[in-house]
């Protein structure tokens, strides 16, 4: 069995710290995050899978939301399987629930924004966390800036 790449190992080590910070902030999140009962599709960061978003999904579940992982294994970037799988998953969720919220972590947030552009009928809103993009002018986003 081949040894994992150094980058993969580094992301796993970083995830331990991120989980600790998430756990420490849980009492604040329970108090301040909005409660609801709508579907939320959660996409992981690069090189991570649904396991990495499980704490977030469980927190949202406790707040009354209906959460879904992406079910596509490890996020290996914009491969044809992942891009097609995201669209298929959102189509399934849209047929079951109507419009859904999308939460994406890092690269998952980039996917979420693009998903909202190609399937605006299926996405209610997109929330990104640590996603590497920058809005410089109002035309960079479909949202109106003040």
- Provide the residue ranges of all domains of the chain, joining segments of one domain with +: 6-132
Q: Does domain 6-132 have CATH number 1.10.150.20?
A: no
Task: Give the count of beta carbons closer than 10 Å to the beta carbon of residue 72.
Answer: 20
Distance CA 67, CA 33 (A): 15
Give per-residue pLDDT as tens, 27-74: 766 677 667 888 999 999 999 999 999 999 998 998 899 999 999 999
pLDDT in tens, 96-133: 999 999 999 999 999 999 999 999 999 999 999 988 87
CB 108 within 8 A of CB 41: no
């Amino acid at each position: 069995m081949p040894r994992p790449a150094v980058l993969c190992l580094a992301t796993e080590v970083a995830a331990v710290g991120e989980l600790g910070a998430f756990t420490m902030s849980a009492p604040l999140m329970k108090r301040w995050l909005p409660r609801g009962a709508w579907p939320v599709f959660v996409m992981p960061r690069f090189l991570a899978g649904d396991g990495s978003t499980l704490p977030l999904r469980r927190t949202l579940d406790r707040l009354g939301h209906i959460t879904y992982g992406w079910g596509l294994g490890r996020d290996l970037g914009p491969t044809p399987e992942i891009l097609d799988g995201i669209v298929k998953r959102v189509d399934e969720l849209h047929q079951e629930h109507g419009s859904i919220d999308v939460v994406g972590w890092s690269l998952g947030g980039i996917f979420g924004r693009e998903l909202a552009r190609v399937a605006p009928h299926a996405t209610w809103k997109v929330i990104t966390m640590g996603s590497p993009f920058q809005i410089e002018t109002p035309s960079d986003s479909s949202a109106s800036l003040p």
